[in-house]
Structure 1
Amino acid sequence: MAIILMLLPALAWGILPLAVARINGKPVNQIFGTAVGTLLVSFVVYAVLRPTISLPSFILAALAGGFWIIGQLGQYNAYRSIGVSQTMPISTGLQLIGTSLIGVLIFGEWASINARLFGALGIVLLIVGVSLTAVHDKGSKTSSQKSQTSTLIMLILTTIGFLIYNAIPRAMTASGLAIFLPESIGMVIAVLLYILFTRQPEVLRAQASWQSLLAGIIFSVAAITYILSVRDNGVNSAFVVSQLSVVLSTIGGMLFLHEKKSRRELILTMVGLVLIVIGAVTTTIF
């Protein structure tokens, strides 16, 4: 059972981008459905387990969920611009680099010299891996150079949302499934505020929005099984195996979404994926 729990987050997070990309709608439709779907699952989890959480922790968890929306909206927009197979390794690599740096600078991780050396090596591997997956041949049909550059800038900026989402729970006493409901409430509030300020009320009744509930269910499966895997397998093992999701989503984008790459782009992407996985292992295990 522990092995299944270890593999399920990677499988679900790997499938999520493919499921979202299949939905005919704008990113705002997709993010709305994802948030509402996650909220529905969190109600079920709360009804079954009845976890307790203090009001300050509830507010912090909801805030984390709001920042997650920023990061995920950036990803959903990138799917449309440069495709899943290019977005996911770049986004994942940026998150790993940022999370590692936050761990060192804020939470005092990598205390030993060996940890710092391996950690620095891991970050270098991540940077090189991300750079390789971002290579775009001139004349490629996937996207224009201008479009790719603007999308990369947008991914870097919105990744800040993911980093805050990951950092807030580490500063809280409550953790695990207890923060799942408040996080999902924060997600929905953030989406509704985004819809309000961008004046897109039609999103609430669009078919694509409600079709995207499936994405929220898939995300919930990944999040819940990851929490359970951390409990049964430890943080390091659970985290490293979960990063295999980037391999699944990248290859899936090419196979199932028919995203084309030149021979050179394909080779560099595969090498980049290997370096990203090795970098994730290096920054986590040592």
Structure 2
Amino acid sequence: MGILLALIPAVTWGSILLVSSKLGGDDYSKTVGTTLGALLFSIGVFIFSQPEMSMLVWIIGFISGLFWAVGQKNQFTSVKYMGVSKTLPISTGMQLLGTTLFGVLVFHEWSNQTTIILGSIAILAIIIGVVFTSLGQKAEDEEYKKNLKRGMMKLLISTIGYVGYIVIIRWFDINGWAAILPQALGMVAAGTILTIKHRPYNRYAFRNIVTGLIWAAGNLGLLLSLPLVGVATSFSLSQTGIVISTLGGIFLLNEKATRKQIVYVIIGCLLIIAGGVLLGYTKE
């Protein structure tokens, strides 16, 4: 059951940048719209589940949401510079390294030789897969190099936000059902603070409420899977949605890619899927 729950965000999160790109708007309106959608979803879940709440849950959940908003806003900005098919593979690799480092070294989720070997092979396969999805995209001019540098800086900040968002929930062992509402409140608060100067509340923000609903469904799946399969496994499996976003960026958003690049992307996607399957066997 834990593996299936961890795969829900793979599908939903893998579609987010594709959906938001189709809905339109800049990174500010997309950020606000996504947080509003997540809040609406969380209110519905909260009413349905009626979890036991404590001050710790409210505080940690809220802080987790702040981290997430930083991660998502900067990922949206990176897409502006690098495109969906390039942003997601690199972002995924950074997040995998960060969450796995915490999961293994801090939470000791791989406790014996077998899980260490399998997990290491799985992470290696995923990282190599991520590299393959970005191969063949050479810098052709100075503007491309500048955009790549800007995008990478935004992804570094984004990674810090995303890793903080997931690790802090696990650190304090917060129940997924209880965390989702305070987390969404933190998302809306940070999203508003980060974008308010740019007047993000427009028609595109309201369109991207759909993006937030999609994200929230995946977030619930991830939070519920954490205590069942651990940080390293659950988050790594959730990131296999890269297959959807990378191929979608090329074939649905018509981002430029040569035949050679498409072959690399397919190889990379297969490696990522293989790594994700192996990670499923690391949970004792």
TM-score band w.r.t. shorter chain: 0.7 to 0.9
- 1:258 aligned onto 2:245: no
TM-superposed deviation, 1:4: 8.2
Q: 1:95, 1:2 → 2: CA distance?
A: 20
Which deviations, in whole Å up to 9, do the C-alpha atoms of 1:193-236 show, x marking residues without a partner?
Answer: 2134xx22x213x22111111111111222234556x39x9537
Range with greater deviation from structure 2 (131-140 or 81-90): 131-140
Paired residue secondary structure (1:137): coil
User: Residues 118 and 283 of structure 1 are in contact (CA less than 8 Å); yes or no, is this contact kept in structure 2?
Assistant: yes
- 1:203 aligned onto 2:200: yes
TM-superposed deviation, 1:5: 6.1
TM-superposed deviation, 1:139: 6.3
- 1:222 aligned onto 2:211: no
Q: Which residue of 1 aligns with 2:82?
A: 82
Q: Which residue of 2 aligns with 1:26?
A: 26
Q: Per the alignment, do residues 146 and 279 of structure 1 end up closer, same or farther by CA in structure 2, a change over 3 Å counting? A: farther
Range with greater deviation from structure 2 (248-257 or 272-281): 272-281
- 1:39 aligned onto 2:39: yes
Q: Within 5 A, what are the aligned runs for 1:230-241? A: 230=225, 234-235=228-229
- Show structure 1 runs of 5+ residues with no match: none
Aligned pair count? 279
Q: 1:118, 1:8 → 2: CA distance?
A: 23
Q: Which residue of 1 aligns with 2:103?
A: 103
AA of the residue aligned to 1:215 = T
Q: Per the alignment, do residues 120 and 244 of structure 1 end up closer, same or farther by CA in structure 2, a change over 3 Å counting? A: closer
Partner residue of 2:276 out of 263, 280, 284: 280
TM-superposed deviation, 1:170: 0.8
Cα RMSD of the aligned pairs, angstroms, is: 2.8
Counting aligned pairs with the same residue, the percent is 32
Q: Which residue of 1 aligns with 2:67?
A: 67
TM-superposed deviation, 1:76: 0.9
User: Residues 53 and 174 of structure 1 are in contact (CA less than 8 Å); yes or no, is this contact kept in structure 2?
Assistant: no
AA of the residue aligned to 1:88 = L
Q: Which residue of 1 aligns with 2:158?
A: 158
Range with greater deviation from structure 2 (172-181 or 57-66): 172-181
TM-score, with normalisation over the residues of structure 1? Answer: 0.86
Q: Which residue of 2 aligns with 1:180?
A: 180
Q: Per the alignment, do residues 171 and 234 of structure 1 end up closer, same or farther by CA in structure 2, a change over 3 Å counting? A: closer
Q: 1:190, 1:56 → 2: CA distance?
A: 19
- 1:14 aligned onto 2:14: yes
TM-superposed deviation, 1:136: 4.3
Q: 1:145, 1:261 → 2: CA distance?
A: 17
Q: Per the alignment, do residues 70 and 195 of structure 1 end up closer, same or farther by CA in structure 2, a change over 3 Å counting? A: same
- 1:190 aligned onto 2:184: no
- Show structure 2 runs of 5+ residues with no match: none
Q: 1:263, 1:26 → 2: CA distance?
A: 30
Which deviations, in whole Å up to 9, do the C-alpha atoms of 1:124-173 show, x marking residues without a partner?
Answer: 333322222223433669x8233223312321332111111110111223
TM-superposed deviation, 1:283: 4.2
Q: Which residue of 1 aligns with 2:94?
A: 94
Q: Which residue of 1 aligns with 2:265?
A: 269
